[in-house]
Amino acid sequence: MAGLERKRATSRTENDPFHAGGSPTGDTLIQFWRWIGSDLLSNATRGVLAEFIVARALGCDMHTPREEWAAHDLTTPEGIKVEVKSAAYLQAWAQPSGPSRISFSIKEARAWDAETNLQAKAGSRTADVYVFCLLKHLDKSTADPLDMDQWAFFMLSTAQLNAYERSRHSITLPSLRRLTTEVRYDALGEAVLRAYKTTGGA
């Protein structure tokens, strides 16, 4: 049917107005963004924040809005396909039992193609490199996910994950530490390139 082909998102600005009947309502897009995105300890928001942090560190093109259902999260300027996973000790809710146990999902997924609206028949890992982002801070009173010193990052190639036999669905922090080393924010780009080279990439 005409008019129902894929429509790519375009970047908005914080001053874009809401309107009704051709006139502004007095609200702007920044108010919506603040309302949905200010709780950075929320699992959903933290996951997207982690993608943004990694994208900026890798020099990814930020002019095209994030595609939520893409087969992988990011593509670097070198063409490396990256999947970003996040976890945190601290949660937005009360934690009477203490900090959360850290585990990252590595489950294979059936990739979806936005151009064709078709989903792959079998699950796979379509990225070249996985970046595991841990918000490692342990004090809620001073937690600030915008502080890169409160994060730790771990890199594994998809080949390494495919060879990981303990679980096909998740990987714990101790297992991750046995397979790779923690890096800081300013070393993310170099670490992703190193991990990519283990796949046979240039």
Which contiguous run of DSSP H or E holds residue 157? strand 151-157
pTM: 0.89
For the beta carbon of residue 65, count every other beta carbon within 10 angstroms: 11
Summarize pLDDT for 6-58 with one digit per residue, the tens: 677 789 999 999 999 999 999 999 999 999 999 999 999 999 999 999 999 99
Which contiguous run of DSSP H or E holds residue 137? none
Place of tokens 């943004």: 52
Residue 118 φ then ψ, to 5°:
-115, 145
Whether residue 201 has pLDDT greater than 90: no
Give helix then strand counts, H and E, for the chain.
Answer: 5, 10
Lowest mean pLDDT among 36-45, 88-97, 111-120, 178-187: 111-120
Per the CB < 8 A criterion, the answer to whether 41 and 91 are in contact is yes
* Per-residue model confidence (pLDDT) at position 125: 86
Q: Which residue has the higher pLDDT, 114 or 37?
A: 37
Summarize pLDDT for 123-150 with one digit per residue, the tens: 678 899 999 999 999 999 999 999 999 9
Rounded Cα distance between 173 and 153, Å, is: 11
Per the CB < 8 A criterion, the answer to whether 201 and 80 are in contact is yes
According to DSSP, the residues that pair with 170 across neighbouring strands are 105
